[in-house]
């Protein structure tokens, strides 16, 4: 029998649907907050999405300040800067707008408001649980990270060349598919595969649970049916809505079981190669599935069926893993995920990241022990097979 963690928790309510952003100001008032900090990156600002959020606050007469200094894989310096600004202005509510980087920054700023010291104190290798009290509202503008419905804040420690995290309290998630329509093609592809990785890895960790499996399987079905359409037809609101819902479900799927070796590999890529999180997760996903399949054949069969792969029921775990990995690579090709070799990285440089993969705490959730030799094998396969 597989080890599993029976708990399933949804950190905060989720408001989903086209136009959902219109309720933001009303919900802020419902928390009895008087000063909001809206946190986003310049890309979200340039696409006009941030204005839609502040317009919703203006409509209810909510006082706010903005912080647009978020960068990919936000470092502790960004969190400390935003935290100091929030403290100076008496902010009592945080609204994170964007993909995982903006939402993680908002969560981490809540840590700073809980204890106004450099946030490095809390962003550690073993993620602490921080009992934050500032309301955090998370507005997703990509269909990928699922960060709006998890408690984890993932922040970079550049001085150590690592990405670590902490767990915080969140208050509300708003998922408005209309906010994803302007998402560029590359981000649509990367975040869509990111959501796939959340669902599939959640279903195959040592801490899988039945509720997470339900969300994960449903998310994979929607992603496989809608990602290519959303990528080809950016303004197709039906495909965008289905992808937004899938990403949210995938976030719910991994909130408790967490992810495993695929995400550990992606973290190594982003720390050393500065690939985006979703891109790294996409690259690692096929081999992560092939690696764990022999240990979890029933989970892999469920994933294969959710992908629309025809199975007979007699396939071995290894065979199922190969089928799933091939199917994921086909999807990656269709949305033009860029291989590592095209980015100029050599096989030797990729394999040299094995130590980072082994040391990442996420690898401990893998149902197959991740030794250095196995990490080198996985990284080599990632490079060779896509």
* Per-residue pLDDT tens digits for 23-82: 999 999 999 999 999 999 999 999 999 999 999 999 999 999 999 999 999 999 999 999
Mean pLDDT in residue range 122-145: 95
pLDDT value at 335 more than 70: yes
Secondary structure E strands in the chain: 14-16, 36-41, 64-70, 93-98, 136-140, 152-157, 162-167, 172-175
Contact between 302 and 213 under an 8 Å Cβ cutoff? The reply is: yes
Secondary element (H or E) of residue 97: strand 93-98
- Encode pLDDT of 139-161 as tens digits: 999 999 999 999 999 999 999 99
Model pLDDT for residues 346-379, shown as the tens digit of each residue: 999 999 999 999 999 999 999 999 999 999 999 9
Q: What is the mean pLDDT of residues 212-236?
A: 97
In the predicted model, is pLDDT for residue 187 greater than 60? yes
Measured CA to CA, the distance from residue 343 to residue 188 in angstroms comes to 19
Q: What percent of the chain has pLDDT over 70?
A: 98
DSSP letter at 314 equals -
Mean pLDDT of the chain: 96
- Indicate if 183-385 has the same CATH topology as 14-179: no
Q: Please, what sign has the CA dihedral across residues 161, 207, 226, 53?
A: negative
Q: Name the fold adopted by 14-179.
A: Rossmann fold (3.40.50)
In the predicted model, is pLDDT for residue 3 greater than 60? no
Asked if the model's pLDDT at residue 295 lies above 70, the reply is yes
Q: 64: helix, coil or strand?
A: strand
Q: Whose structure tokens read 């986003």? A: 40
Model confidence at 8, in pLDDT bands (50, 70, 90)?
Answer: confident
Residue 271 pLDDT exceeds 70: yes
> pTM value?
0.94
**Angstrom distance (rounded) from CA 238 to CA 234:** 10
CATH superfamily, region 183-385: Dehydroquinate synthase-like - alpha domain (1.20.1090.10)
**What integer pLDDT is reported at residue 9 of this predicted model?**
86
Mean pLDDT of 79-108: 97
Task: Give the pairing of strands 36-41 and 14-16.
Answer: unpaired
Q: Are 245 and 359 in contact (CB under 8 A)?
A: no
2 pLDDT band, cuts 50/70/90, is very low
pLDDT the model gives residue 202? 97
Q: Map out the domains of the chain as residue ranges.
A: 14-179, 183-385
**Spatial separation of the C-alpha atoms in residues 283 and 337, rounded to whole Å:** 8
In the predicted structure, residue 1 carries a pLDDT above the cut 50? no
């Amino acid at each position: 029998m597989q080890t599993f963690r029976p708990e399933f928790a949804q950190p905060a309510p989720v408001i989903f649907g086209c136009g959902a952003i219109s309720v933001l100001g009303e919900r802020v008032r419902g928390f009895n907050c008087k000063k909001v900090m809206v946190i986003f990156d310049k890309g979200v600002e340039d696409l006009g999405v941030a204005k839609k959020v502040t317009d919703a606050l203006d409509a209810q007469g909510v006082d706010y300040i903005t912080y647009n200094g978020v960068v990919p894989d936000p470092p502790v310096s960004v969190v400390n800067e935003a935290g100091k600004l929030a403290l100076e202005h008496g902010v009592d509510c945080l609204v994170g707008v964007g993909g995982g980087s903006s939402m993680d920054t908002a969560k981490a700023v809540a840590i700073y408001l809980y204890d106004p010291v450099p946030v490095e104190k809390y962003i550690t290798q073993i993620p602490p649980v921080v009992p934050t009290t500032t309301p955090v509202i998370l507005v997703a503008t990509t269909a990928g990270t699922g960060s709006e419905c998890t408690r984890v804040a993932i922040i970079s420690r550049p001085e150590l060349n690592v990405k670590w995290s902490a767990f915080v309290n969140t208050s509300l998630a708003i998922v408005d598919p209309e906010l994803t329509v302007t998402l560029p093609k590359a981000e649509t592809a990367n975040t869509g595969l990111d959501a796939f990785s959340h669902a599939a890895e959640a279903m195959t960790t040592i801490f899988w649970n039945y509720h997470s499996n339900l969300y994960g399987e449903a998310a994979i079905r929607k992603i496989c049916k809608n990602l290519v359409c959303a990528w080809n037809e950016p303004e197709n609101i039906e495909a965008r809505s289905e992808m937004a819902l899938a990403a949210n479900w995938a976030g719910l799927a991994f909130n408790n079981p967490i992810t495993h070796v695929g995400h550990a590999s992606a973290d190594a890529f982003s720390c050393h190669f500065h690939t985006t999180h979703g891109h790294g997760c996409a690259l690692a996903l096929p081999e992560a599935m092939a690696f764990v399949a022999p240990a979890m054949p029933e989970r892999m069969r469920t994933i294969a069926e959710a992908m629309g792969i025809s199975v007979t029921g007699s396939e071995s775990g290894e065979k199922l893993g190969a089928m799933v990995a091939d199917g994921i690579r086909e999807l990656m090709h269709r949305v033009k995920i860029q291989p590592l070799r095209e980015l100029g990285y050599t096989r030797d440089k990729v394999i040299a990241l094995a130590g980072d993969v082994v040391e990442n705490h996420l690898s401990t959730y893998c149902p197959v022990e991740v030794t250095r030799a196995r990490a080198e094998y996985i990284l080599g396969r990632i490079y060779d097979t896509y």
